[in-house]
Chains A and B, each alone.
Chain A
Amino acid sequence: DAKTTQPTSMDCAEGRAANLPCNHSTISGNEYVYWYRQIHSQGPQYIIHGLKNNETNEMASLIITEDRKSSTLILPHATLRDTAVYYCIVRAFTNTGNQFYFGTGTSLTVIP
């Protein structure tokens, strides 16, 4: 699975959009981009995933560049409850192994 690079930490004002970047320059054609978050030692929570098209759900939007070497997770209106560590993961689905490699992620702090 491709390696990802994320900033260690970010701040965002409450009510503003939080844009979390992720670089994955070695991504392969069959690898998906996943985003999870972890709120203070709780179980990681699935947010969104995509292959090459931009995706949106009730939680967030995922913007993947045309060359797929980077992506951005957008929380459109950040709230204090969005303070968490956000993990960007790229991986391919196989029938032989499906580990999610969680790195150290980006610690997002939403400021009142």
Chain B
Amino acid sequence: DADVTQTPRNRITKTGKRIMLECSQTKGHDRMYWYRQDPGLGLRLIYYSFDVKDINKGEISDGYSVSRQAQAKFSLSLESAIPNQTALYFCATSDRGKVSTDTQYFGPGTRLTVL
């Protein structure tokens, strides 16, 4: 979905380096999420944020941190990257105003390789 962008799209880094992945959205949604996907597996939630001052841990938050700089921006950081963090990372957004549902819209993904 072009309304949700992620940068960089691909990144190769070394063990121990700090990495930041960025997500921006123009959908005007309140809620933002970070997921990771490993080969042959489904997506797993890392962190999510319901508004600028709200940060919540997901299923696999260890080794990651996030920052919600503005409604439209949600960054994921790996403070000291390790090889098993090699994965495809997706950002998603959803609209709090849709009280009957919570459809999430995903960005194109960032492929991260930690050597």
**Nearest CB in chain A: distance from B11 CB, A:** 15
Nearest neighbor of B41 in chain A, beta-carbon distance: A104
Chain A 63-105 interface residues, beta-carbon cutoff 8 Å to B: 87, 93, 95, 97-105
How far, in angstroms, from A97 to B47 measured CA to CA in the complex?
11
How far, in angstroms, from A96 to B103 measured CA to CA in the complex?
15
How far, in angstroms, from A43 to B23 measured CA to CA in the complex?
13
How far, in angstroms, from A49 to B94 measured CA to CA in the complex?
14
Q: CB distance B106 to A44 under 8 Å?
A: yes
Q: CB distance B43 to A45 under 8 Å?
A: no
Q: CB distance B105 to A87 under 8 Å?
A: no
Q: CB distance A103 to B90 under 8 Å?
A: no
- B68 interface residue, CB < 8 Å from A? no
How far, in angstroms, from A102 to B88 measured CA to CA in the complex?
14
Q: Flag B59-85 by CB within 8 Å of A: 1 or 0 each.
A: 100000000000000000000000000
Q: CB distance A97 to B105 under 8 Å?
A: no
Interface residues on A, range: 20 to 34
Q: CB distance B109 to A42 under 8 Å?
A: yes
Q: CB distance A93 to B42 under 8 Å?
A: no
- The listed residue (B94, B105, B109) touching A41 by CB distance below 8 A is B109
Q: Which B residues are in CB contact (< 8 Å) with A87?
A: 42
Could you list 18 examples of A-B contacts with CB < 8 Å?
A34-B103, A41-B111, A43-B92, A43-B107, A43-B108, A43-B109, A44-B43, A45-B1, A46-B103, A46-B104, A49-B101, A97-B48, A98-B48, A98-B102, A99-B59, A100-B104, A102-B43, A104-B42
Q: Which residues of B contact A (CB under 8 A)?
A: 1, 4, 31, 33, 35, 37, 40-43, 45, 48, 50, 56, 58-59, 88, 90, 92, 94, 99-109, 111
